[in-house]
């Protein structure tokens, strides 16, 4: 049988969602490299850089819960499609906004953040309708592996564009990607299998049988979720995970360039290595988690085991890298930490679907709201620490402490049992 004949429609949904995440992070990360020549041109100090980098997350914070609710109600296809178009437009507008003034740039970055805010709630909601329960951990892991891949592309390609064309073109060229992506998304994806005229009867029957008991129902009021300790376990874990993620996304290129003395043109290639490790191990960890559950291990125990490996690896690498002086040694330590950190995809990341399979979009919106706060606080505080002390070690030590707190909280309060029907 041919490859085309074997292709399942849900694979298209997952594949294009993965590409959306890749583009999301390319457009998000490029400024962490471009800000180095931008700062030189526009006269920004470290504190101003922190304000610019963190402004994105103000917009990202605003539409998390709204995006999840809209996706659960109207379908993830339309919500994600509009989100990609919005953030692509504001990516294209970033250079002219920067030349018009800092205030205009901050508004553009906030607008971009609002567009990207719906990404994860939308595809979580979409997967709740398209992806059978037994495939969800792998589907989420694959989609989330778009985070490091998009980061790698942004880190490697941005210096090349900046060197040959100028920093403005890093935004112009990357901004077009989302518009190109939207064409197959609008043609090939539907909100649910019922709306897809090309899906085979066999695949549709399989999906419906696997999703039995998790069909469309109205979500409870969002604040209802906050009355349950396992929800708070995910919220706190998401916050702590994203503290380390966003601090590294925003400041790792500057650390490598200015803290370790690496030439600007080599920054992208060096900083991509930890993200490359994360890309491979995300998919590995998702399969490990599914296999452990299939072998009979209790779901909650699997989630806590994966979380321990992930957060333990992140915290350990941060504490070690704070004492390393060699650039390559630092990158090697960060790569090991990123590989181990990928195991959280089998922990809190998919735990939303364990406790609220019918309301995963809404719950993801709630927890990702908390997960966005470190993008504002963590990134800005790191800039203040650097401005006041010049200590990269202190930045990494604070981040490790936040990560360890999240691990302890998750181990105490997390659950693998369904709470919301």
Confidence of residue 416 (pLDDT cuts 50, 70, 90): confident
d(CA 401, CA 310): 14
Average pLDDT over all residues of the chain: 86
Closest CA to 145 of 365, 402, 353, 341: 341
Q: How is the chain split among helix, strand and coil, in percent rounded to 5?
A: 85, 0, 15
- Provide the whole-model pTM: 0.79
Between 174 and 50, the higher pLDDT residue: 174
Residue 211 has pLDDT above 70, yes or no: no
Q: What domains does the chain contain, in order, with CATH numbers? A: 9-192+221-413 (1.20.1250.20)
C-alpha R_g of the chain: 21
pLDDT of residue 93: 95
For residue range 350-369, list pLDDT tens digits in order: 898 788 877 877 888 899 88
Give the pLDDT score at 4: 46
Q: How far apart are CA 285 and CA 295, in angstroms?
A: 15
Encode 222-256: b = buried (16+ Cβ within 10 Å), e = exposed: beebeebebbbbbbbbbbbbbbbbbbbbbbbbbbb
- Predicted confidence band of residue 421 (pLDDT cuts 50, 70, 90): low
- Residue 214: the pLDDT is 46
Mark out the alpha helices in 117-228 (DSSP H runs). 119-130, 136-144, 146-165, 168-188, 201-210
pLDDT of 222-255, one tens digit each?
788 999 999 999 999 999 999 988 787 777 777 7
Determine the average pLDDT of the residues in 277-297: 88
What three-state secondary structure class fits 298? coil
* pLDDT of amino acid 314: 93
Question: Percent of the chain at pLDDT above 70?
Answer: 94
Render pLDDT for 315-325 as a digit per residue (tens, 0 to 9).
Answer: 999 999 878 87
Q: What is the pLDDT of residues 394-410, one digit of tens each?
A: 988 999 999 999 999 99
Q: Mean pLDDT across the stretch 87-98?
A: 94
- pLDDT score at 265: 65
Query: What pLDDT is stored for residue 274 in this prediction?
Result: 86
| pLDDT (0 to 100) of residue 91 | 94
């Amino acid at each position: 049988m041919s490859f085309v004949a074997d292709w399942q429609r849900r694979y298209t949904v997952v594949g294009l969602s993965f590409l959306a995440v890749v583009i999301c992070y390319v457009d998000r990360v490029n400024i962490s490299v471009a800000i180095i020549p931008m700062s030189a041109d526009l006269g920004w100090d470290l504190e101003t850089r922190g304000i610019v980098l963190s402004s994105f997350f103000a917009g990202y914070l605003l539409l998390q819960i709204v995006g999840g609710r809209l996706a659960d109600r109207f379908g993830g296809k339309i919500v994600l499609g509009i989100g990609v178009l919005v953030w692509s437009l504001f990516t294209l507008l970033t250079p002219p906004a920067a030349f018009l003034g800092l205030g205009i740039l901050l508004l553009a970055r906030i607008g971009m953040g609002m567009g990207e805010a719906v990404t994860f709630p939308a595809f979580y909601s979409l997967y709740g309708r398209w992806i059978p329960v037994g495939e969800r951990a792998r589907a989420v892991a694959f989609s989330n592996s778009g985070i490091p891949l998009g980061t790698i592309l942004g880190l490697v390609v941005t210096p090349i564009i900046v060197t040959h064309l100028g920093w403005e073109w890093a935004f112009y060229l990357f901004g077009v990607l989302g518009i190109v992506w939207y064409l197959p998304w609008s043609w090939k994806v539907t909100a649910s299998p019922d709306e897809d005229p090309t899906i085979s009867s066999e695949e549709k029957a399989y999906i419906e049988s696997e999703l039995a008991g998790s069909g469309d129902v109205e979500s409870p009021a969002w604040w209802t979720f906050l009355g349950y300790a396992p929800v708070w376990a995910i919220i706190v874990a998401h916050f702590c995970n994203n503290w380390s993620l966003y601090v590294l996304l925003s400041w790792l290129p500057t650390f490598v360039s200015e803290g370790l003395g690496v030439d600007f043109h080599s920054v992208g290639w060096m900083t991509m290595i930890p993200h490359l490790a994360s890309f491979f191990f995300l998919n590995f960890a998702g399969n490990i988690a599914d296999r452990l559950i299939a072998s009979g291990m209790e779901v909650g125990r699997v989630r806590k085991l994966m979380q321990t490996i992930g957060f333990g690896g992140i915290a350990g690498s941060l504490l070690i890298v704070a004492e390393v002086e060699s650039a390559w040694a630092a990158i090697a330590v960060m790569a090991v930490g990123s590989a181990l950190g990928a195991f959280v995809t089998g922990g809190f990341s998919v735990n939303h679907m364990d406790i609220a399979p019918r309301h995963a979009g809404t719950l993801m919106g709630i927890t990702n709201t908390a997960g966005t706060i470190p993008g504002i606080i963590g990134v800005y505080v790191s800039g203040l620490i650097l401005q006041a002390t010049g200590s990269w070690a202190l930045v990494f030590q604070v981040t490790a402490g936040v990560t360890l707190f999240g691990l302890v909280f998750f181990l105490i309060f997390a659950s693998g049992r369904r709470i919301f029907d």
